[in-house]
Amino acid sequence: MIKSELIEKLAAANPHLFQRDVERIVNSIFEEITQALERGERVELRGFGAFSVRNRPPRQGRNPRTGDSVSVKEKHVPFFKTGKELRERVDGKS
């Protein structure tokens, strides 16, 4: 599912809301999650999962085309860990 499909489904499930309002709500939620991760905070949605930022230390990598050794800088990457309820529903144990 892509974001536009999510917005369409939510708008269809909530006919009292305009689609543009649903789109604003979805974008606001994603923006808040993004800003929290930028600040290094953890975002937990009970039953769904938790977003956090993980540090990847610098390392030596390889250029796949030439095989040359390349220095890869330290970076911070977003990480998502599923919640127990989501894992169980996806696994079919509801």
Q: What is the pLDDT of residues 47-94, one digit of tens each?
A: 999 999 999 999 999 999 999 999 999 999 999 999 999 999 999 876
At CB < 8 A and 24+ separation, what contacts does 85-88 make? 85/47, 85/48, 86/47, 86/48, 86/49
Count the Cβ atoms, other than its own, within 10 Å of residue 7. 18
Residue 93 has a pLDDT of 74
Q: What is the pLDDT of residue 13?
A: 96
**Mean of the pLDDT values across residues 19-29?**
96
- Provide the mean pLDDT of the chain: 95
Contacts of 70 (CB under 8 A, 6+ apart): 60, 61, 62, 63
Q: What percent of the chain has pLDDT over 70?
A: 99
